[in-house]
Amino acid sequence: MICRWFRKLFKKNKPRRVANYDNSLLWNQFELEVLDALNDYRVKHGQTLLVGSRDLQRMADRRADECKRDGKISHDGYNRVAQLLAPLGILGLRENLAYGYEYPEQVINAWSNSPDHNRAMLMHNSKYAGVGHTRNGKRSYICLLLAR
């Protein structure tokens, strides 16, 4: 059940589809809305809801910051991320990156139009997710990490 104080963080009145808010203080509004839109998309396609993971969230934030620092998005750091998370029991890691989107629904729509990104979003055995978001002036950098 979602607490009233938490719902006030959002201008929308619809209930969130994130399955777990235990680590909600790590997530900014944009990140929660991306995960919410992703869970809506997954349910629409017959998949289960994702649970927010503290470890994935922290790493997704790092990845978004790296993209911002480098001024581009690149999956070059993916193997390092997978190696860092494997000892924590996080397996089947997938990474989606995006930049320049102002609204969470735009990000999900863009990923859904890319076969590889769409496959990652709809991975049937995914259970956990983390979303990183940062800005560099007007440009947004977004990282989604999914795992089982």
pLDDT digits (tens, 9 = 90+) for 113-145: 999 999 999 999 999 999 999 998 888 999 999
Residue 17 confidence (pLDDT): 46
Dihedral-angle region of residue 71 (phi above 0 means left; psi in -120 to 50 means alpha; beta otherwise): left
- Give the pLDDT confidence of 52-99 residue by residue, as tens digits: 988 899 999 999 998 898 888 888 777 777 787 887 888 888 999 999
Minimum mean pLDDT range among 35-39, 79-83, 107-111: 79-83
d(CA 101, CA 73): 13
Question: Distance from CA of residue 117 to its chain's centroid?
Answer: 12
DSSP structure string for 29-98? HHHHHHHHHHHHHHHHTTPPPPEE-HHHHHHHHHHHHHHHHHTS--GGGHHHHHHHHGGGT--S-EEEEE
- Work out the pLDDT band at 12, boundaries 50, 70, 90: very low
Query: Is the pLDDT higher at 14 or at 116?
Result: 116
